[in-house]
Amino acid sequence: MSGSINELAERIVALEPIEQEALIEKVAELNFQRGLDFLSQKYRKRLAQEGKLDQSAAEVLAELAKLREEIAAHDYRA
């Protein structure tokens, strides 16, 4: 594996600076997308375990509003 990594590194350093920058941006974009995909899969798994995978958007928003009200009532007592 290290041989192929070294070869890849050699090819990258041979690129023009603008091409290297485009490559770095593309790698960052792909890493970001993979992170989002991982979080999405993790969240879907949790929803499935809680039996909420088929919950409608309106139900989710209602739960969030209720939770927000509970937090506000607890944290911002008069």
CA pair distance 26, 40, nearest whole angstrom: 21
Interacting residues of 13 by C-beta distance below 8 A, sequence separation 6+ = 20
Please answer whether residues 47 and 53 qualify as being in contact, where contact means their C-beta atoms are separated by less than 8 angstroms: yes
Mean pLDDT, rounded, for 13-19: 96
Mean pLDDT, rounded, for 14-19: 97
Structural domain spans, the chain: 2-75
Tokens of 47: 């929803």
Interacting residues of 55 by C-beta distance below 8 A, sequence separation 6+ = 47
Mean pLDDT, rounded, for 8-31: 97
Tokens of 26: 């593309």
pLDDT in tens, 28-66: 999 999 999 999 999 999 999 999 899 999 999 999 999
